Structure formats: C-alpha cells, structure tokens
Amino acid sequence: MREKVVVFSGAGISAESGLPTFRGADGLWRNHSVYDVATPEAWARDPQLVLDFYNERRQLLRRVQPNAAHRALAALEQYHEVVIVTQNVDDLHERAGSRGVIHLHGELMKARSSERETLVYPLGERDIQLGDLCELGSQLRPHVVWFGESVHNTDQACNHIAQADKLLVVGTSLSVYPAAGFITLAPDKTERYLIAPEVDSLPDGFVWLKGTAAEQIPPLLQSWMN
C-alpha cells in the first residue's frame, strides 16, 4: 500500500557526505560564533565576515556528493509518497533526486535580496560578494534563516507531518526551535523512527535505530519497498 512517509532531517544526514554538523566535535558552532555569522545583527555589523562564512560553506557543498541515505530516500518515491522536511541548507536531497523537499532554514545555493525576502536568485557556480545587488538595488545576502528570523514553509511542513503514516527523524539534535517541535504534530497512529549514532533523550513514541544515516536508512527503506 502506498503510504505517506515524512522525513525530518538535520545536519547528520549530510555528515557522511563530508559536511560538518553544527554541534558535533568538529561542528560549525564549535569553531564559529553563531552571533558573529548567523544573526541579522552580524550582517549589519560585518557583512563581509558573514558572506565569507557562507561562501566557504557553499564551496565545500559543491565538492561533496549525496550519500547512500539521500539516495535511498530519493528511490523510495517510486513506492510511497515521500516528503522531506529538512533543516539543512544544503541541496544534497535534491541532487540525489528527491522531489518533495521542504527547506525550513533556507537554501545555501540561493541568494536573496536584503530588502525584499521574496526576491530569491539561484547562485549556480557563483558566490555572493559585497556589491552584488538585487533588482531593487540592495545587497544580496544568503537565502538562509538566521537566529531571530522566521522559519520558512512552516504551515506546509506541519501539515505534512500531521498527515504522516510514517515519520523518520534523522541526523538532528532536535535542539533548535520551532523546527524541532514540529515532530510532535504527528498523530498517534504514525509510526516513528529516529536514526542517530547517539541520543540524549528519545522523543515520545519513537523507535531508535542506532547508527549513522548511511548505515541505517538504506536497509530500513528497503523493508518498506516490499
């Protein structure tokens, strides 16, 4: 039977592709202060530092590839309705072939106007430099959500989670709100799985599959394809 599978992903799903997480031993927030690079105040104070941080992350993203977890999720679309609600700003789900990807925290491969947030531009091979302007003449900024800004696509994401037959949470510390709270919207009947190498506390109703995304996702999804 075709079911609705909703995946809620975080930085850990891209770790095996070579992208750092935020809070792990070599996590981005261990080496950078959130307040220096990921807030509207940082952008107002030192836009060059903010652009350098995201330009560097984008250059790394171009060099890495989706891993077995991203690919297995894309393949599952042949068998089930799959919606991926991701906190990640990378495009590895899309590059693996997933079509239903909802980004809560923005997209690294896009720029947007710092004056009007609906003016969004794909970057392709380019980075963002000071002096790069939107069509209204204001500086382009990364199309990412900074601390203190509103999460994108909230209603859409919450509606999908509220209708999930299966909810698969993978690669997230569930420590950033409001996004982390969305998983509580799944109804009682939803089957829930959490994939992570370690967990501090398992959210209610979840089965923990201990291991990495690339180890655990392909066999789990294979069992859903039969």
- Quote the DSSP letter at residue 97: T
What does R_g of the chain's alpha carbons equal in angstroms?
18
**Where along the sequence are the contacts to ligand OAD (CB under 6 A)?**
10-12, 15-16, 21-24, 27, 38, 87, 105, 145, 170-173, 175-176, 195-198, 212-213
Q: Per the residue annotation, which of 70, 93, 105, 160 is the catalytic one?
A: 105
By beta-carbon distance, which residue lies closest to ligand OAD? 12
CB of 164 to ligand OAD, least distance (A): 19
Respond yes or no: is residue 105 known to be catalytic. yes
CA distances from 120 to 12, 43, 61, 222 (A): 27, 18, 19, 37
Residue 159 CB, nearest approach to ligand OAD (Å): 20
**Lookup result for tokens 């609600």:** 85
Q: How far is the CB of 137 from ligand OAD (least distance, A)?
A: 27
- Residue 179 token pair: 């996004």
Q: CB-wise, 52 or 187, nearer to ligand OAD?
A: 52
Q: Nearest distance from residue 153's CB to ligand OAD, in Å?
A: 13
Rounded to whole angstroms, the Cα distance separating 157 from 179 reads: 9
Q: Give the DSSP letter string of 7-30.
A: EEE-GGGGGGGT---SSSTT-HHH
Report the residue number, 125 or 198, with the smaller CB distance to ligand OAD. 198
Q: In whole angstroms, give the CA distance from residue 187 to residue 185.
A: 6
For the annotated catalytic residues, the residue numbers are: 105
